[in-house]
Amino acid sequence: MTGTPGTPGGEIAGIPKLTIRYPTRRDAIEALLPPGMQPWGEPEVQVGIYCVPVNGEPEHGVSTKVPARWAGTEGWYTLGIGIDQESAIFISRETNGQPKFPCEVRYFRLGERIEASCTHQGYTFLTYSGTVSTAGEAGGDIGGDEWWIKVSRAVGGPGDADDRRGAARYDFPPHVVRVHTEGTAVAVEQLQGDLQLNDSPWDPYTELLPMTGKPSACLVTSRFTARSITLDGPLDPEGFWPHADTIGGSRWPGLRGGPRR
């Protein structure tokens, strides 16, 4: 089955991607999904740390996804993609609803050693340190579906989505964007290491998606053969209103663009 939890989908990788998975609570995932989406499979968070060429230069990024079913299709709902390249942030959100935000990502491999860290608004919210435990092996078919949200609140509307005095108003009501990928995992290397999630108001993993068990990690070298981004269907505009205000360009719930206090 394509799109099963644990498979890396939704990015085109040029070098091995660090894929980290950790278990969380099902109700925590459900609380973050907009009306119309439901959790499926095991409740887990998939974090991908990568470096790919974009606009002629390397883009270091970190993506965070949770398993979500939309219109009968099982896929992944993307909560955020932190990147270190400003040019790709705003155009990606405007055109495709891709939830990108500025983030300093450190990621390297030195022999069998893997190191990664992600810093946003002065908070290093994630660190990973590990070593390769198995040699690379072919991983078979990968791909599936990933969900983004394209939406624009109305000009001159309420200052934030928690302002209950105003009705939901949009210039473009919320729609799901489907990102469909097909490809092959050329090599998968299993890792042994330590994942540390740190408290951060700007990236609230510990508060909203707490780790409830042992994480796992691997390096995935991928070859993608197809990728399409399409407008898939509308969400209930009234039901989505509490989800409209986010932290920056992510889909973490926010207040006037910042963390909820």
pLDDT at 85 over 80: yes
- Cα–Cα distance between 89 and 220 in angstroms, integer? 24
Mean of the per-residue pLDDT values of the chain: 89
Per-residue CA distances from 185 to 17, 44, 138, 142, 154 (Å): 11, 21, 6, 6, 43
pLDDT computed for residue 223 by the predictor? 82
Q: How many domains does the chain have?
A: 1
Residue 61 lies in a domain: yes
- Cα(245)–Cα(212) distance, rounded to whole angstroms? 27
Sequence-distant (6+) residues with CB within 8 A of 57 are: 85
Helix/strand/coil for 33: coil
Residue 38 scores a pLDDT above 60:
yes
Could you tell me the pLDDT band of residue 53, with boundaries at 50, 70 and 90?
confident
The CB-side HSE value for 167 (13 A sphere, CA atoms) comes to 4
158 assigned to some structural domain: yes
Q: Quick: pLDDT tens for 142-168.
A: 889 999 999 999 998 655 555 544 578
Residue 9 included in any domain? no
- pLDDT average, residue stretch 175-182: 95
Q: Is pLDDT above 80 for 46?
A: yes
pLDDT, tens only, 204-223: 999 999 999 999 999 998 88
Domain membership of residue 98 as a residue range: 17-249
Please report the pLDDT score of residue 6 as a whole number: 40
Residue 115 lies in a domain: yes
Looking up residue 80, the CATH number of its domain turns out to be 2.40.400.10
* Spacing of C-alpha 142 from chain mean position: 17
8/217 Cα distance (integer angstroms): 12
